[in-house]
Amino acid sequence: MAVLLLITSSWSQAQEPDPLDAALVVQKAVVKAIADTEDSVVALARARKADDSVKTLLKPPAGDRAEGAGGLPFEPTEFATGVVVDSDGYILTCRHVLGDPEQNDYYVWINGEPKAAHVLAADGWFDLAVLKVDAVGLSVPKFGDGGAVSKGEFVVALGNPHAILKNGGPSATWGMVSNRSMPAPAAPENIREKDLRSLYQDGGLLQTDAKLDLATSGGVLVNLKGEVIALTTMFAIEIGYEASARYAAPFTARTQRAVETLKSGRTIDAGFLGISLPEPGQQLGRGIPVGGAGAGMPAAAAGIERDDVITHIGGVAVKDVNKFRQLVASYQAGDVVAVKYERRRAKRTATVTLAKRPPYENYRTSYQTSKPPVWRGLHVDYCTVVADTRDVNFDPRGSVVIVSVDEDSPAARAGLRPRQFISAIEGVRVTTPADFHKAAKQLTGSVAVRLFESADGEHLKTIEPE
């Protein structure tokens, strides 16, 4: 027994971890995470098209390289951070740092070298933008699942364009995830709340105690595995607060899909279910009570009715109105989502094809270089883009809405005008813009389109060829 006690005591002492050794293990992980990621983090400068001061950075005078941005003669004052998402020169950043792409030029510093960049697409609702530079072989970081992080996980923040410009590499700070599913800060009195509408107004942001410097928007949060899990964003700075808000938008599979959409030059069509919701803050029981499901909306088309109670969206339980709205709008139009709901306590599941969220008034307007298709002067979209307009009758079987008509086009000569609903083209039902253009491109000669005005009012219009 004495021998056993002695062995047990010795084993316990041998297993006692040395505090310094434990700290060195964590330090090694932090150092490696930074080394694996920092070459992918870039500085971004913005200059008005009339301002040539930043453009001189690309071709500095010989022998006149004063200390400044990477040894160049001038350091810009409007800047942010970005991260490489494709080795062929695609850079991701936050939409709100770009201003108006029509009025600004952009420059990106990669490994200390400046390169001209152009905006492919910028989406105000998701607060994401992708720029393109003429480069190949760029370092792309590993991306993790920012939606699966827990409070207390250690993270490293990489950003600070000042450091990238002067020294060629981002600054690093570290801390932990302080909270999850946080909403963006409320607008102060001098800024209209509707000007800050975004995917994160109702929640979804990570909060960190890692220090985020000014102009860190578009930088990254990295876990100890060296995976990018979030894009840092300075919402509080943006709306006039003096203190850093230390928020980051989690990088998930849906974020990656949004990035691919932006890389193609298109903005993101946020998902829309089309139901009336209770006011936020109400005490809810089993789920989200449906106050109404409008005719022609995705929910109604899938069989969801007034007084049903939605319990799950895409497998995620929902009991909070704000989180429900944020979850639906994180999908894209056309996504097919399983919606679990209860009707008089009976459990049901509906398969819903989401439509497009109505537009919103926001100073961070969206921008895209890939223009939507046009057919005979007609520009059409999901009918739900006018779903927030009163006194609109929607075709319960589905339709598309005319958003604009080119002047003196065949559609204009046929008498078509914006805000009319097209339910069929040559007898083929159309419920999405893709449906419409797929049917239209196969047609030649005179084409009949059916306009829906009310349950008792439909009529045909004939559109001649160009």
Per-residue model confidence as pLDDT tens digits over 103-114 = 888 999 877 778
In a domain, 11, yes or no: no
Given 296, 325, 353, which residue is the final one in a domain? 353
- Per the prediction, the chain carries an average pLDDT of 83
**CATH code, domain with 235:** 2.40.10.120
Cβ–Cβ under 8 Å, residues 146 and 251: yes
User: Does one domain contain both 226 and 298?
Assistant: no
Nearest to 153 by CA among 232, 234, 233, 208: 208
Q: Which two tokens stand for residue 56?
A: 């001189």
Percent of the chain beyond pLDDT 70?
81
User: Structure tokens of 326?
Assistant: 């944020």
Q: Is residue 10 part of a domain?
A: no
Measured CA angle at 247 (ends 269, 81), to 5 deg: 75
**Residue 172 in tokens:** 């690093």
Q: Using CA atoms, how far apart are residues 445 and 462, in angstroms rounded to an integer?
A: 10
Closest CA to 291 of 303, 309, 273, 318: 309
DSSP run (H or E) holding 117: strand 113-123
Q: Is the pLDDT of residue 68 over 60?
A: no
Examine residue 15 and state whether it is found in any structural domain, yes or no. Answer: no
Q: Does 394 reside within a domain?
A: yes
> Among the three residues 267, 283, 303, which one is the final residue of a domain in this structure?
267
Q: Do 126 and 227 have their domain in common? A: yes
**For residue 432, what is the domain's CATH number?**
2.30.42.10
Q: Same structural domain for residues 215 and 138?
A: yes
Answer with the residue of higher pLDDT: 243 or 154. Answer: 154
Identify whether 3 is part of a domain: no
Task: Tell me the per-residue pLDDT of 28-40, one tens digit each, with 9 for 90 and over.
Answer: 999 999 999 999 9
Decide if 196 contacts 214 (C-beta within 8 A): no
List of long-range contacts for 436-441, beta carbons under 8 Å, 24+ apart: 436/375, 436/380, 436/400, 437/373, 437/375, 440/375, 440/376, 441/375
Mean pLDDT of 391-419: 90
Cα–Cα distance measured from residue 446 to residue 466, given in angstroms and rounded to the nearest whole number? 10
Q: What is the dihedral of CA 370, 92, 225, 211, to 10 degrees?
A: -150
Q: Identify the domain boundary among 322, 353, 384.
A: 353
Q: Is residue 457 part of a domain?
A: yes
393 and 314 together in one domain: no
Residues 251 and 322 in one domain: no
Whether 157 and 217 share a structural domain: yes
Strands 154-159 and 171-182, by their bridges, are antiparallel
Q: What are the tokens at 392?
A: 């609109």
Q: List 448's β-bridge partners, or say none.
A: 462
Domain identity same for 138 and 206: yes
What pLDDT, on a 0 to 100 scale, did the predictor assign at position 17?
Answer: 73
Do 55 and 180 sit in the same domain of this protein?
yes
The better pLDDT of the pair 276, 92 is held by 92
Residues 345 and 383 in one domain: no
Query: What average pLDDT does the segment 332-345 reach?
Result: 94
Q: State how far the Cα of 58 lies from the Cα of 260, in Å rounded to an integer.
A: 29
Closest by Cα among 365, 401, 367 to 382: 401
- Residue 4 has a pLDDT of 40
Interval 162-183 mean pLDDT = 83
Kindly state whether residues 298 and 239 are assigned to the same domain.
no
Sign of CA dihedral 363, 364, 370, 373: negative
Contact residues for 328 (Cβ-Cβ < 8 A; gap 6+): 271, 272, 273, 313, 354
Distance CA 389, CA 386 (A): 5
**Nearest CA-CA partner of 33 in 44, 42, 25, 22:** 25
Q: Is the pLDDT of residue 3 over 80?
A: no
Give the CB-side neighbour count of residue 27, counting CA atoms within 13 A.
6
| Alpha helices (H) along 114-175 | 161-167
Q: Does the pLDDT at position 368 exceed 80?
A: yes
* 296 and 240 share one domain: no
Strand partners, 336: 353
Structural domain contains residue 193: yes
Does 430 lie in the same domain as 445?
A: yes
What are the distances in angstroms from CA 44 to CA 72, 113, 147, 253, 442? 15, 11, 27, 25, 44
Q: What amino acid occupies position 170?
A: P
Q: Provide Rg for the chain, Cα atoms.
A: 26
Identify the domain containing residue 417 by its residue range. 372-463
- Compare 77 and 10 and report the one with higher pLDDT: 77
Per-residue pLDDT for 86 more than 70?
A: yes
How many domains, in total, are found in the chain?
3
CA distance 285 to 127: 32
Average of per-residue pLDDT across 363-380? 89
Residue 14 lies inside a defined structural domain of this protein = no
What are the C-alpha distances in Å from 299 to residues 34, 243, 312, 349, 380?
Answer: 46, 42, 13, 12, 21
